[in-house]
Amino acid sequence: MHSEQMEDEGSQGLWLSEKDASLVFGPLYDERLRIDRIINRLDVAGDLTERADLASELVRSVSRYEDTIERALFVRLEGSAPAVLEDLDRERDQLRDAMTVIHERTMGIDPRNVHASDGQGFEDTLEDVVHKLRALLLGEDGEIAALMRSLGPQDHRELAEDIAHTFRSASEHPQPPHTAMGRFISNQHVKLDHMFEDVATPSHPGADTIDG
């Protein structure tokens, strides 16, 4: 995929326009729209505090999205186009490694302070995350759209139930634990890190922008 094409298409999911997509995918549909809003805002945001906050929110959203995709949706594709799925698994692992760096740079730190230490390194990593994310989403979108078209009404209902159930326990950490208890504990740590930061009055201009 040429970079120009990725930039033109951005992260607009092919399956978002599929009939009943919002009903079948439920919270995953909403999460994907949130990811698109964050990416689009990062494309134009110049304020470093806002960019740091957007980066943190992007990692949490993408972590939830990919964990749900992997556990509820891509298990239905096992055995079909194995080479494509292996490539997507590899790309997902590489994205998670890059997001872990952002996660470690932003957890427990007020967005105003994130760029104080190696700000350029942070921006380089964030650019890498967005690039890898766009590439991964393009690949996943094709598989999701094909799956949508192959399923009947009953399959859609079962998929909707699985997605809703899986999303409720989706990991907000870029490296998701493999057990439900592990995901719960990890998510509590992430939430605590966001609540208790290194300043008395935290500022979150990125979250305020994308969530209204």
3-state helix, strand, coil in the chain (%, to 5): 80, 0, 20
Specify the length of the chain in residues. 212
> What's the CA angle centered on 207, arms 202 and 212, to 5 degrees?
120
Tens of pLDDT, residues 1-53: 334 444 444 445 667 776 678 888 999 999 999 999 999 999 999 999 999 99
All domains of the chain in start order, with CATH: 17-211 (1.20.120)
What confidence score (pLDDT) does residue 138 get? Answer: 93
Cα gap 183→175, rounded to integer Å: 10
Tens of pLDDT, residues 181-203: 776 666 666 665 555 554 444 55
For residue 64, give the nearest of 172, 147, 211 by alpha carbon.
172
- Provide the terminal-to-terminal Cα distance of the chain, rounded to the nearest Å: 34
Residue 166 has pLDDT above 70, yes or no: yes
What confidence score (pLDDT) does residue 120 get? Answer: 97
pTM above 0.95, yes or no: no
What confidence score (pLDDT) does residue 16 get? Answer: 75
Cα gap 169→96, rounded to integer Å: 18
What is the arithmetic mean of pLDDT over 80-89? Answer: 86
What confidence score (pLDDT) does residue 209 get? Answer: 62
